[in-house]
Amino acid sequence: MVPTHYYLILSAVLFGLGAVAFVFKRNIITIFMSIELMLNAVNLAFVAFSQAFGKVEGQVFVLFVIVVAAAEAAVGLGIIILIQRNRQSLNIEKVNLLKL
Amino acid sequence: MPTPILDILWIIPALPLLGAAINGLFGKGWPNKIVNTVALASTGLSFLAALEAVREFFAGGQQLVHKEFFDWIVAGSFRAGFDLQMDQLTVVMVLVVTGVGFLIHIYSTGYMSHEGGYYRFFSYLNLFMFFMLILVLAANYVLLFVGWEGVGLASYLLIGFYFLKKSASDAGKKAFIVNRIGDFGFMLGMFLLFKTFGTLDFTQLFAKAVPWSHEAWGVFGTFTVACLLLFMGACGKSAQLPLYVWLPDAMEGPTPVSALIHAATMVTAGVYVVARSHILFTHSDTALIVVGTVGCATAFFAATIGLVQTDIKKVLAYSTVSQLGYMFLGCGVGAFSAGIFHLMTHAFFKALLFLAAGSVIHAMGGEQNMLHMGGLSKKIKVTYWTMLIATLAIAGFPPLAGFFSKDAILGEAFQREGGWHSLYVVGLLTALLTSFYMFRLIFLTFHGKQRYDEHHVHVHESPWSMLGPLVILAVLSIIGGWLAAPSFWGGEDHFTAFLAPVFGTGHEAALSEAAAHSLELTLAVVAVVAALIGLATAFWLYLRQPGKPAEIAKSLKPIYNTLYNKYYVDEAYGAAIVRPLLALSTNVLWKIIDVEAIDGTVNGIAHGATATGDVTRRTQSGNTRSYAVWVVVGALTILIIVFWPAIRALAGGAQ
Amino acid sequence: MNPVLLIFFVLAGLAVLGAASLVLQKHPIHSALSLIVVMVCLAGLYLLMGAEFVAMVQIIVYGGAIMVLFIFVIMLLNAGEEEHTDFSKLAKFAGLPLAFALTASLAALVFKPDASVPTATHAFIPKATEQISSMLFKEFVYPFELTSFLILVAIMGALVLAQREKK
C-alpha cells in the first residue's frame, strides 16, 4: 500500500512545476500546457483522496475536471490561433495592448 | 366673545407674524395701499386682541393666567413649552408694545411712502412685533429668549434697511454682534438657573427661589452670579455700559424704527427681564447694587455725550441710553414698579420725540444736522408743539408724565439709599443735563435764526398719517403720569398698587405719613428746580447768546472734543478688541488653521489617494507574464490565510 | 519494499521528469510530448489506485484528444523555438521563489505523519466504475447535464473563433 501522502506530495510537486512553467515560459501554447499539467496534478490529488476515504465521489469529480479541461482547451486554442493571426507571434509578451 | 382671548393668547403675537409673512412673501409687487392694509390690520387687530385680553384679565379678578399651548422642549425632567402668561406686568408691557407699535405703524405709512422696499419694511416691522410680543408674553425664560433673539434679528434687519449704504449695514452688524455678547451672558445665566432650580418656568422657578437665603454684598452665590449674567444680557439689549455702543449707530435705520425699537420697546426688554426676575435680584445685594450703579453711571455718561451732539437723532439716541439708565437705577434700588412706570412713560414721550424728529427731517428734506436748522416753529406747527410737549415730559416738568415717573425713581433712590445718596445726586445731575440738552435741541431746531437756504429746502408740514400718531402720543405723554401720582398731590399711586401682586407692595414706610409727604414734596421741588436750571441755561446759551456755545467749546476744547467724539469709546473698542480679534482671525485661524491644517489635510488625503494609485497602478502593467506571477502570489496568499493555524502548528512542531 | 511501492516510485519519478522536461524544453512540441508522458504516468498511477475508469478516460480524452489537439495547433501555427524577450521584471526575479514557495507550502501541509490524511484501508475501491456511473446519473446528474451543455458552448466558441475571415 502506498501511503496517501506520497501521492499528495507528488501532486504538489507537479503543481509547482506547472506553476513554474506558467510563470517562466514565453510561448503561449506552452503556458497553456502548463495549465493542463496543474489540472492533472489536482486530478491526482482527487483520486488519491477518493482511494483514501473509500468514496467514489472524488473520481466523479475528476471526470468533470477532465471534461471542463477539454472544453477549455478547445476554446483556448481557438483564441491562440487568433492571437497568432493578429500578431504573427506566439510570444506572450507581445500580447500587451493593455500596457500604458 | 365665543372664545375668551385668554384661551387663545397666542393670537396676539400670531397676527403680526401673519402680517409679516403675507407682506414678506407676496408683497413685492403690491401697491402701497395693500401692504399698508395688511400691516396695519395685523397690528391693529393684535392691539384689539390685547385690549380684550386685558379686559378679560380684569374681569377674571386679575388672577395670573398661565396657558400652555404645546410642548416645545421636553428632555428628561426639563420642560420648556410654548407657554404664555398674563399678569399685571404683562398687561402693562403688552399694551405698550401693541399700542405704541400700532401708532408707529400708522406713522410709517406716511414716512416711508416714498421709499423703496416698502413691503420689506412692513414685513420686518411686523416680524419685530411678533418677537417682542413673544418676549413679553412668555411664561418661561426659554421662550423669552426666543423673543429676545428674534427682536435682535428684527433690529438688525431694520437698522440695515438701507443696506446698500455701507454705514447702515455696518450699524446693523454692530447692533447684532454687541447684542450677541450680551446674549452670551444671558444664556449662561439661564443655564445656571436651570442647573440650580431644574426649571426655567417663571412661576415654578420663582416659587422655588423664594425660600433661599439672602446673599449680602460681596457674596458671589448662585443668585448673584445668575443675576449678574442675566444683567449682562440686559446691558446688551438695553444699551447700558459697556454694551451701549450699538444704539447711536442704530440711528442709521429709518426713524420709525428708531422710535419703535430703540426707544419704546426692544431696548426696554432688558428692563422687563430684570423686573420679571425681581425675586432673583432681590435675593442678591451685589446684583442690585451693580444694576443700580451701572444704570446710574450710564445715565450720566450718555447725558454728557448728548450735550454736544449735532445730529438730531444722535441726541435722542443718547437720551434713550440715559433714560434706560434711569429705569435700571429704579430696579437697582428695589423700586421695580417705578422702573416699569418710567418704561411706560418713556415709551410715550421717546417715541413721540423720535417720530417728531422724523417729521422735522421729512420737512427739511432729509437734513439731520441741527446746526443747519432753526426757526422752524412757525412753519411746522403741529410737529413743534408735540415735540415741545415731549421735551417738557422728558425734562420732568409737572404735570406731564416724565415728571411723575422720574420723580418716583429719584424719590425711591433717595429713600432706599443710606449714607451718601450718591446715586440720587448723580441721578439729579443727570436730570439737569437731560433738561439742558433736550431744550438745546428744541431751541436749535425750532427757534433762532434760520440757518438753512430756503431755495434748497422747502419746509413743509407732514401728512396727517404722520401727525396723527404724534398728537395721540402727546396726549399720552400728558396724562400718562397721572396713573401714579404720588400721594402729596392727593392722588393715589395706582400704578404701584396695580403691580403690587407682581412686585410686592412698596417699601415699608420708614418715615411717618407726614414726614413721607414732606420728603416727597421736597424731592419733587428739587427735581423741578434742576429741570428749570437746565432749561434756563439752554435758553441763555442758544437763544440769548448764540455765539457763546462756540466760544465755550473753543475754550474747553479737549473736553468738548472728548464729549463730541463719544469719549472715543468706539475707537478704544476697535483698538482693544476688534483689531486683535481680526488679526487673530486672519493670521492664525485663517492662514494657519484653515488654509494649512484643514485644507492641507483634505488636500493631503486626496494627494495621498493619488499617490497610492500611482503605486498600485504598477500591478496593471499590461504585461501578461507579470499577471501570471500575481496569480501565483494570490494562490499562495489564500493558502496561507486559510491554513494559518496549521502552518503555525507545523512551525511550532518543527522547532 | 513491496512491488506496489516500487511501481509507484517509478511512475512518480517518470512523471516528475516529464514535468521538468516540459519546463526546460525550448521547443513547444517537445513540451507537448513531455506532457503526454506525464499523462500516461498519471494514468498508470490511477490504475495503481484502482481507479480504472478514470485511467482509461485520462488516456482516451486527455492523451488522445486534448494533447493531439495541442500538437495539431503547434504544427498548424508552425510554432518555433522560444524567443528570448524579457519584459517582465517581476516574473524574472520573483517568479521562481514564489512558485517554489507554493510547492513547498502545499507539500508541507500534507506531509503530516499523523492520521489526518488517512491511508487507504483497501488497495482499491471495488466496482468503482459501476459506482461512478450510478452516481453520475443519480446524485450528479445536474452537473453532468451542465457539462454537456458546456461542451456544446465550447464547440460553438471554437468554431466562431477559428473560422477563416470572410473575404
Cβ-defined contact of B623 to A93 (cutoff 8 Å): yes
For residue B581, give how far its alpha carbon lies from the nearest alpha carbon of chain A (Å): 54
- Our separate counts of H helices and E strands in chain A read 3, 0
- What residues have CB less than 8 Å from B325, skipping those under 6 apart? B240, B294, B295, B296, B297, B298, B299, B300, B301, B302, B430
For residue B625, give the nearest of A19, A92, A98 by CB distance. A92
For residue C150, give the nearest of A30, A68, A77 by CB distance. A68
Mark whether B373 and B500 lie in a shared domain: yes
Mark whether B431 and B387 lie in a shared domain: yes
Residue of C nearest to A32 (CA): C70
Cβ-defined contact of C77 to A44 (cutoff 8 Å): no
Residue of C nearest to B618 (CA): C90
- Yes or no: say if B15 and B45 are a contact pair by the CB < 8 Å rule: yes
Residue of A nearest to C52 (CA): A59
Mean pLDDT in chain B?
84
Mark whether B390 and B433 lie in a shared domain: yes
* B143 is a domain residue: no
Other beta carbons within 10 Å of C85: 13
* B33 is a domain residue: no
Q: Is the pLDDT of residue C88 over 70?
A: no
For residue A23, give the nearest of B620, B621, B632 by CB distance. B632
The string of DSSP letters for B184-210 reads HHHHHHHHHHHHHHS--BHHHHHHHHT
Assess C136–A contact: CB distance below 8 Å, yes or no. Answer: yes
- Yes or no: say if B342 and B409 are a contact pair by the CB < 8 Å rule: yes
Specify which of B9-13, B69-73, B140-144 reaches the highest per-range mean pLDDT: B140-144
Cβ-defined contact of B623 to C105 (cutoff 8 Å): no
pLDDT at site B511: 47
Q: Is the pLDDT of residue B243 over 90?
A: no
Cβ-defined contact of C88 to B625 (cutoff 8 Å): yes
pLDDT at site C110: 66
Residues from chain A contacting residue C128 (CB–CB below 8 Å):
56, 59
Integer Rg of chain A from CA: 17
Closest CA to B469 of B261, B248, B315, B260: B260
Number of A:C CB contacts under 8 A?
A: 247
pLDDT at site B523: 82
pLDDT at site B510: 44
Domain edges within chain C: 1-80, 125-167
Please tell me what DSSP assigns to residue B589.
Answer: I
Q: Which of B619, B621, B625 to mutate to test the interface with A (most CBs of A within 10 A)?
A: B625
pLDDT digits (tens, 9 = 90+) for B276-293: 888 888 888 888 888 888
For residue C109, give how far its alpha carbon lies from the nearest alpha carbon of chain B (Å): 7
Q: Is the dihedral of CA C114, C117, C119, C122 positive or negative?
A: positive
Q: Using CA atoms, how far apart are residues A42 and C41, in angstroms rounded to an integer?
A: 14
Integer Rg of chain C from CA: 20
Residue type, A35: I
Residues from chain A contacting residue B620 (CB–CB below 8 Å):
98
First to last CA, chain A: 56
Name the percent of chain B lying above pLDDT 70: 94
- What residues have CB less than 8 Å from B166, skipping those under 6 apart? none
Closest CA to B202 of B67, B77, B55: B67
What average pLDDT does the segment B387-402 reach? 86
More confident residue, B110 or B507: B110
Question: In chain A, positions 43-72, which contact chain C (CB-CB < 8 Å)?
Answer: 43-44, 47-48, 50-57, 59-60, 62-64, 66-72
For residue B602, give how far its alpha carbon lies from the nearest alpha carbon of chain A (Å): 30
Q: Using CA atoms, how far apart are residues B262 and B239, in angstroms rounded to an integer?
A: 9
Q: In the block, which residue shows the cell 494649512?
A: B596
Determine the structural domain holding residue B655 and report its residue range: 624-655
For residue A54, give the nearest of C45, C107, C121 by CB distance. C121
Mark whether B340 and B420 lie in a shared domain: yes
Mark whether B480 and B582 lie in a shared domain: no
Q: Which helix (H) or strand (E) holds C97?
A: helix C89-110
Residue type, B620: Q
Q: Using CA atoms, how far apart are residues B237 and B555, in angstroms rounded to an integer?
A: 37
Assess B113–A contact: CB distance below 8 Å, yes or no. Answer: no
Closest CA to B209 of B229, B194, B228: B194
User: What domains, with CATH codes, occur in chain A?
Assistant: 4-93 (1.10.287.3510)
Other beta carbons within 10 Å of A98: 11
Mark whether B571 and B644 lie in a shared domain: no
pLDDT digits (tens, 9 = 90+) for B579-608: 888 888 888 888 888 888 888 888 888 899
Q: Is the dihedral of CA B160, B161, B164, B168 positive or negative?
A: negative
pLDDT at site B508: 43
Integer Rg of chain B from CA: 31
Residue of C nearest to A84 (CA): C77
Q: Using CA atoms, how far apart are residues B321 and B304, in angstroms rounded to an integer?
A: 11
How many domains does chain B fold into?
3
Q: Is the pLDDT of residue A43 over 90?
A: yes
Helix, strand, coil percentages, rounded to 5, for chain A: 80, 0, 15
Angle at B152 between CA B149 and CA B157, to 5 degrees: 130
Residue of C nearest to A75 (CA): C158
Q: Which of C84, C86, C88 to mutate to test the interface with B (most CBs of B within 10 A)?
A: C88
Assess C132–A contact: CB distance below 8 Å, yes or no. Answer: yes
Pick the CATH number of C1-80 from 1.10.150.20, 1.20.120.1200, 3.60.21.10, 1.10.150.120: 1.20.120.1200
Mean pLDDT in chain A?
88
Closest CA to C41 of C55, C57, C25, C24: C55
Q: Which helix (H) or strand (E) holds B270?
A: helix B269-276
Q: Using CA atoms, how far apart are residues C100 and B629, in angstroms rounded to an integer?
A: 12
pLDDT at site B418: 64
The ipTM is: 0.90
More confident residue, B117 or A17: A17
- What residues have CB less than 8 Å from B120, skipping those under 6 apart? B23, B24, B27, B161
pLDDT at site C37: 95
Mark whether B583 and B645 lie in a shared domain: no
For residue C109, give the nearest of B621, B629, B646 by CB distance. B646
For residue A24, give the nearest of C91, C125, C147 by CB distance. C91
Residue of C nearest to A22 (CA): C23
B252: left (phi over 0), alpha (psi -120 to 50) or beta: alpha
Residues from chain B contacting residue C112 (CB–CB below 8 Å):
650
pLDDT digits (tens, 9 = 90+) for B300-339: 999 988 888 888 999 999 999 999 998 998 888 888 888 8
Cβ-defined contact of C105 to B635 (cutoff 8 Å): no
Other beta carbons within 10 Å of B649: 12
Cβ-defined contact of A27 to C82 (cutoff 8 Å): yes
Q: Which helix (H) or strand (E) holds B413?
A: helix B401-416
Q: In the block, which residue shows the cell 524544453?
A: C25
Q: Using CA atoms, how far apart are residues C11 and B532, in angstroms rounded to an integer?
A: 134
Mark whether B329 and B421 lie in a shared domain: yes
For residue A60, give the nearest of C120, C132, C158 by CB distance. C132
Q: How many CA atoms lie within 13 A of B59 on its CB side?
A: 9
Other beta carbons within 10 Å of A65: 15
B622: left (phi over 0), alpha (psi -120 to 50) or beta: left
Mark whether B578 and B628 lie in a shared domain: no
Q: Give C20-25's long-range contacts (Cβ < 8 A, gap of 24+).
A: C20/A17, C22/A17, C22/A21, C22/A30, C22/A33, C22/A34, C22/A37, C23/A17, C23/A20, C23/A21, C23/A24, C23/A25, C23/A34
Closest CA to C81 of C32, C27, C21: C27
pLDDT digits (tens, 9 = 90+) for C54-87: 999 999 999 999 999 999 999 988 877 766 666 5
Which residues on neighbouring strands pair with residue B121, listed in sequence order? Answer: none
Specify which of A14-18, B199-203, B492-496 reaches the highest per-range mean pLDDT: A14-18
Angle at B634 between CA B631 and CA B636, to 5 degrees: 110
The set of chains that have 3 or more CB pairs under 8 A with C is A, B
Q: What is the per-residue burial (b if ≥16 Cβ within 10 Å, else e) of B524-561?
A: bebbbebbeebbebbbebbeeeeeebeeeeeeeeeebe
pLDDT digits (tens, 9 = 90+) for C98-157: 777 777 777 776 666 555 566 666 667 777 888 888 888 998 999 999 999 999 999 888
Assess C43–A contact: CB distance below 8 Å, yes or no. Answer: no
pLDDT at site B17: 92
CA B158 to chain centre: 13
* B126 is a domain residue: no
pLDDT digits (tens, 9 = 90+) for C2-41: 888 899 999 999 999 999 999 888 889 999 999 999 999 9
- What residues have CB less than 8 Å from B238, skipping those under 6 apart? B267, B268, B269, B270, B271, B324, B327, B328
pLDDT digits (tens, 9 = 90+) for B535-549: 888 888 877 777 777
pLDDT digits (tens, 9 = 90+) for B169-203: 889 989 999 999 999 999 999 999 998 888 888 88
Mark whether B573 and B501 lie in a shared domain: no
pLDDT at site A73: 92
Q: Using CA atoms, how far apart are residues A70 and C54, in angstroms rounded to an integer?
A: 15
For residue A93, give the nearest of C85, C158, C160 by CB distance. C85
Mark whether B553 and B569 lie in a shared domain: no
